[in-house]
Structure 1
């Protein structure tokens, strides 16, 4: 029988207790999901919180898990597995802690560097952390007869860890802790675990180096300029002073100038699209006449302040999903917070269901961003809800941002026309001609819209925008799809996906 290969030894010292194994598998699996969800927030300012961004991050995370699991198992069969655990945890901790400064630093370099940094920030720690489970399983396999139970038990623990990481991050961490702090904190925790594992195995070499790397990464992540005054639940938020207007402030969300506020003069409107929306309101409702209004999206509360100042006694409600934006408005405006305005932290779509029938004169939609659009506010069902809430002569005014061929804007206009009998579109003439992208203002009502009067009012403000209505607007809209809760490919319609 000398030609036969010897059977592998049935027993080998595990070198790792059952509880220690469970904690390592649970924690490493949870950490992978924490990194994935935090990466979505970290990358949203640059790529948008779109279906494509989610798909990319999830795909990269799954690729990292697959590669790490395979490589970890292959290596554990060829190298003493006990020596692998601490380096896997320590290096992954360094990578996680360095992620904020690397990603934000690469964003200033260019899109190519940003994409590379974003990819590595998910692949590297994800693969290293995913390699922990097969290494631990190798250490716990003391007999071939218990392979199934060991693998099944630890795999189940890893899945529970992944669920816990998802739930804790989504429901607790993101709403209470800045993204950079989440990643740096996780990196430090992984390093501490690495040190404990090394010490337990009496193999402490390299701990000092790993500690220095993570410490420097955490320091860099906190000191590197991010452009944020505050990291809110949804945005990197900053408030910039206007050097040309002492009382002017600009609310910047994710690097984009989102709203402009003059702290002393609520009738001063800096942005052209806001001037266009105010022109629509002025044409439909004479100044001095109180109105009932609902605003989807708070921004800097520019239009609610304008309505309160020009129409004393008006009642406005505002739905804003990001409590950090509301808190920034309260700090920014202080005693100048608009009278008669109730700002609520809530999802705008859920708020629509609570609006009373025929209870409003005006609905202002300003929740669509340049790189991210809440698709559930763009559908036929959402617009139906707004239509029910408006009086017969009520007005819906919405700001839409699109680029290139304007596929999303065309679809949104057509969807709006399914609900409201009268629709007009206001924009810079180059945008209407299809030569450029930017802001477009949709005006809709069941009653006739006085487009000529709106154009005159915009001209009086010095705004050289044009308008489309009737057959011209139908031609402009073309065969664009109607968006519904069942079919709303908003992310694909937005450039470049809709090009």
Structure 2
């Protein structure tokens, strides 16, 4: 007589006993966490080349979700046709090898064949993401023994996978990125995945294939050591290098993500190499009496070039700096000669939050220099942020900000329009063609410096200072500036499409 209590789904063979509930949960948890680690770290790895923009984030998230969907679907289909015991180990091993090779692959491609970067980046997310996502249906197939427990098994493993994804996200964002270089995170994850593959292979089929996978992982780690784009230091936000200037014994250039970000002369802090820094100095020196000490606040630190300049030329100046990247602060102390007693107080914090903590009417000068070459912190560009800048300035205070834009200058014009909503007087300093003062010449873009204050800008004195420093820049105000701004729409916390307005960054100086 045939029993009818349940219909068999998978034969209760010994291999099912090899994959108990704890092992199944560990595999699903670990593979789901790994997908999110790869997604977050890949975004950081691509930021130096594509920018930390909304588009870059959307692309990486979209690719990762595609990988999860494709891997789950294909893994389920394959699991119905092939014994899943033969699939889990290779899925973990191959994904581990690809993950370990990712830093070398992306950095080499960015250096030698930038046109292929998007394709290679997509594959380094798609391949491990799909393979790791396929682990869940493989494990589910092995754990199902009857239709009566389908809901329990699927629901439990789905929940475990979700928890794994959450843990992977939190662990990466709050722990791993803060303590390890991105290449180290990916190589370490690759090694763990290959080790997991070896363990699964040993439990189910012996060590077949494991040595080869291990060799690939080691090769990936070794490749990173010779791949281009290596950093002196990988901070939480940047690939950082300090390069000595062969023409000046004390000259040091701070490169962030391959772009010149700051230049510091350790022997002469009054030496300002980049034109935009000379323009900022010209504006400040034309606004305030020579040698007058100032209470200054700096949004963004970098190499602290301008705070050093103020300390040297205006003894008694107190500069408070908000620099979000603690790694850059350490570089300033360890390699760029920052000393206590220089009148420079650097706080590792977000600039918008640091600005909010300042007292009203507490600053003579606010300097905005947090704008990177390929990405912009949009929350520092809005009317609401500028209202906070205006709040902390005294009645004669000056806000001077470095902007970067190219092409039609859509972002720069929108930001100047935003400043016009907050301050009574606004002026723009830059190459004549870039600010509409030389219509016959094509705008090339790059750095612009904007001055904003509730007291009139001393245009003749500022232009004289610019000329004295041989910047070649001019200052635009009044009708000329209004014409240049055109119909640009001010930015607000509710509407700030900075990434869309900002034109692709070309070669030259960073922020």
TM-score bucket (shorter structure) = over 0.9
Specify the SS of the correspondent of 1:432: coil
- The partner residue of 1:146 within 146, 149, 158 is 149
1:448 matched residue in structure 2: 456
Match of 2:241 in 1: 238
1:474 aligns with 2:477: no
Q: CA RMSD in A?
A: 1.3
Alpha-carbon distance between aligned partners in 2 of 1:117 and 1:133, rounded to the nearest angstrom: 26
- Cα 1:9–1:444, aligned 2, differ >3 Å: closer, same or farther? closer
- Is the alpha carbon distance of 1:494 and 1:394 closer, same or farther for their aligned partners in structure 2, counting shifts above 3 Å? same
2:73 equivalent to 1:70: yes
Q: Mapping of 1:327-338 within 5 angstroms?
A: 327-334=330-337
Give 2:131's match in structure 1, choosing from 118, 128, 136: 128
d(CA) in 1 for partners of 2:415, 2:68: 39
SS at match of 1:363: strand
Matches of 2:213 and 2:308, distance apart in 1:
53
Distance 1:430 1:246 in 2: 35
Q: What is aligned with 2:496?
A: 488
- Give deviations 1:106-133, integer Å, cap 9, x for gaps: 0112222211111111111100100000
- For residues 319-370 of structure 1, the C-alpha deviation after alignment (integer angstroms, 9 at most, x for no partner) is 0000000000111233656711111000000011111111100000000111
8 A contact 1:180–1:222 mirrored in 2: no
Partner of 1:4: none
Name the CA shift for 1:303/1:235 in 2 (closer, same or farther; >3 Å): same
1:23 aligned residue: 26
TM score, norm. by length of structure 1: 0.96
Residue 253 (structure 1) aligns with: 256
Number of residue-to-residue matches in the alignment: 491
Say which is worse superposed, 391-400 or 101-110, in terms of deviation: 101-110
What's the counterpart of residue 394 of structure 1? Answer: 397
For the 8 Å contact 1:330–1:337, the answer to whether it is kept is no
- Greater Cα shift, 217-226 or 31-40: 217-226
Matched, 1:112 2:112: no
**What displacement does 1:276 show?**
0.2
| 2:85 is equivalent to residue 82 of structure 1 | yes
Q: Is the 8 A contact 1:361 1:390 kept in 2?
A: yes
1:225 positional shift: 3.5
* 1:277-288 aligned within 5 A: 277-288=280-291
Q: Deviations over 1:189-235 (max 9, x none)?
A: 00001000000013321111111001111111234242310000000
Correspondence for 1:3 = none
Residues 22-56 of structure 1, C-alpha deviations (whole Å, 9 max, x = no match) = 00000000000000000011000000001000000
Listed as ranges, the matches of 1:25-424 within 5 Å are 25-334=28-337, 339-424=342-427
CA distance in 1, matches of 2:427, 2:482: 10
Q: Take 2:330 and 2:241, find their aligned partners in 1: how far apart are those partners?
A: 12
Once the two structures are overlaid, the 10-residue window that deviates more, 269-278 or 431-440, is 431-440
Alpha-carbon separation, structure 1, partners of 2:462 and 2:245? 29
Secondary structure, counterpart of 2:448 in structure 1: strand
- Shift of the 173–335 alpha-carbon distance from structure 1 to 2, 3 Å rule, reads closer
Uncovered stretches (5+) of structure 2, i.e. residues with no partner: 1-6, 437-441, 506-511
User: What is the match of residue 3 of structure 2?
Assistant: none
Q: Distance in 1 between matches of 2:354 and 2:378?
A: 15
Counterpart CA distance in 2 for 1:338 and 1:458 is 30
